[in-house]
Structure 1
Amino acid sequence: MRIGIVILPDQRWAESSRRWRLADEWGFDHAWTYDHLGWRDLVDGPWFDAVPTLTAAATVTSRIRLGTYVATPNFRHPVHFARETTALDDISGGRLILGLGAGGIGFDSAVLGQPELTPRARVDRFAEFLELLDLILRQPATTWSGSWYSAVDARSIPGPIQEPRPPFVVAANGPRAMRLAARHGDGWVTTGPQADTAEQWWQAVAEISDRFATACDAVDRRPDSVDRYLNLDTSPIFSMSSPEAFTDAVGRAAALGFTDVITHWPRKSSWYTGDEKVLEAVAAELPRIRADFGSRQPDLGSLRPDFG
């Protein structure tokens, strides 16, 4: 079980850098930031872009893996994003993870003045986004003409440090997106559904996990060849509400076969409201939690570590 944390890009770097350094020092396995132009009622700010935030985070950390949670086609183009990816992977010394998703409706999809897409169209676009981004990162030059994207001799030199490219962790809850995660993902991440109670949420997460195994079978992929990430904080109980709540959530995720969990840095108000003292207490217990539920440190040289 590996344990990650999301640090929202909602503070100036003079304040936010402390959080990234502590996540590294405290022993979290991966740290993420939201890749949005604005997010829910935090859209009025402050809010900062994911790519320069992760670039800065790479310069104040040395061990922890760093990821987008999650980059989408709402405002990313595979040609430019491949360049950003190559730079981030280089600056971080091969510690980048690409969390990728289809993108939803809301501020990100409306701010550029584009028509709102149907769920089917968003997944169609995402399928092409994944395929083209993968190709550009794997080969020195790519030409592509699709329904959503075009590329003419798009270069990827010198290419990422991680070979053949940084891991793709594909966000998916629905059946078509799950098949994309099974086909293209080195990892799969789910938020689970909205639910009224924690027990209902965990039951639904178990069902989603089973459906992902079916999606893997459909593309002739072993389910245990894909790392499984669970965002703990769409549950009605915030995982950082207490050390006991966090330990219980990790144990439940491990029992369902998840290899990774993701929590959120507590905020003073609004989303993920909590106390940093709880986070400090959890961080002190990370070695024990790993011992209880299985310990595997990230293998920076392998896209698909053996968890068997």
Structure 2
Amino acid sequence: MRTGIVILPEHRWWMAEHKWKAAEEYGFHHAWTYDHVGWRSLVDGPWFGAVPTLTAAAVVTRRIRLGTLVASPNFRHPVPFARELLALDDISDGRFTLGVGAGGRGHDAQVMGGPPAGSRQGRFEEFVAALDLLLTRPRTNFDGEHFRVRDARSAPGCVQQPRLPFVVAANGPRAMAVAAKYGTGWITTGPEADDEGAWWRGVAELTDRFREELARIGRAEGTIDLHLNADSCPVYSLTGVEHFRDVAGRARELGFTDLAVHWPRADGVFAGSEAVLERVAADVLPELVRG
């Protein structure tokens, strides 16, 4: 099983750079950052843009895959965003993955004057469909209820062919249909739950539903990666080495190919110890690769 780490874009680069370098040195397969204008309890604190952060990370790393977890249509239009994705794919020499989701109803949806008109899921479906066209065709026209594209150019195209990978966040049926159709990977946060056991049961149910969606459209399960955002669970994944080992084992039993955890913070959300992270990297990550 592959393991990734999420590094929130909250530190000036002189502090953040070493985390991205360390993520590669520790042996993580992928590293991600949030693509938000501001996020939940951290909305009043420091926060930097995902695209320049990932660009800088691409320059100071060589092997680790990089991505957004997740971009959304809450404040993005597919045409300029596709250009940014092409640049990230190029600068990283084909190491970029687009994590994409419908977006929540929080700060990102409110800061530009309120939620966009119309269906949130409808916007998401069009956003992903338009990005797929923009990243695979030299010219794109698209007519939707929420997005329209007129003769957009996409030269020089992606380094990764036929386009850079999409990991699609989905818990509900409509989003799962998008993930099954367009995704190189599917990622779930699991259900909203206060109890760890209930969360894992919900993850198992969502995984079964996604497999049913794959079967419905005739897509083999082995053609798409299954990602779990472990820190949507009520208990932080890096509270201890054995706890992380248990989390990884449960995820593997459910058939997940990839696990995402968050870099420990000093306090608040994802509060933990970097010493635990270092021990996990030294002792557990090699076990997951061998296993």
TM-score range, shorter chain: over 0.9
Q: Does 2:192 match 1:194?
A: yes
Deviation at 1:177, TM superposition (A): 0.7
Alpha-carbon distance in structure 2 between the residues aligned to 1:115 and 1:179:
23
Q: Please, which of 138, 141, 158 is the counterpart of residue 140 of structure 1?
A: 138
CA RMSD between the two structures:
1.1
Structure 1 residue ranges (4+ consecutive) displaced by more than 6 angstroms after TM superposition: none
Partner of 2:91: 91
Partner of 2:160: 162
Deviation at 1:59, TM superposition (A): 0.6
Deviation at 1:114, TM superposition (A): 3.4
- Map 1:203-218; keep pairs closer than 5 Å: 203-218=201-216
Count residues in correspondence.
290
- Map 1:111-150; keep pairs closer than 5 Å: 111-115=111-115, 121-150=119-148
Partner of 1:227: 225
Partner of 2:245: 247
Identity %: 57
Alpha-carbon distance in structure 2 between the residues aligned to 1:41 and 1:116:
22
Alpha-carbon distance in structure 1 between the residues aligned to 2:86 and 2:116:
30
Q: Does 2:288 match 1:289?
A: yes
Alpha-carbon distance in structure 2 between the residues aligned to 1:106 and 1:203:
26
Question: Contact between 1:143 and 1:150, CA under 8 Å: does it hold in 2?
Answer: yes
Partner of 1:72: 72
Structure 1 residues 34-87: Cα deviation after superposition (integer angstroms, max 9, x where no partner) = 000000010112000000000000011000000000000001111011100000
Alpha-carbon distance in structure 1 between the residues aligned to 2:108 and 2:219:
33
Deviation at 1:235, TM superposition (A): 1.1
What TM-score, normalized to structure 1? 0.92
Task: Give, as a single letter, the amino acid of the residue that structure 2 aligns with 1:72.
Answer: S
What TM-score, normalized to structure 2? 0.97
Task: Give, as a single letter, the amino acid of the residue that structure 2 aligns with 1:28.
Answer: F
Deviation at 1:290, TM superposition (A): 2.4
Partner of 2:35: 35
Structure 2: tracts of 5 or more residues without a match = none
Question: Contact between 1:123 and 1:177, CA under 8 Å: does it hold in 2?
Answer: yes
- Partner secondary structure for residue 239 of structure 1: coil
Deviation at 1:224, TM superposition (A): 2.5
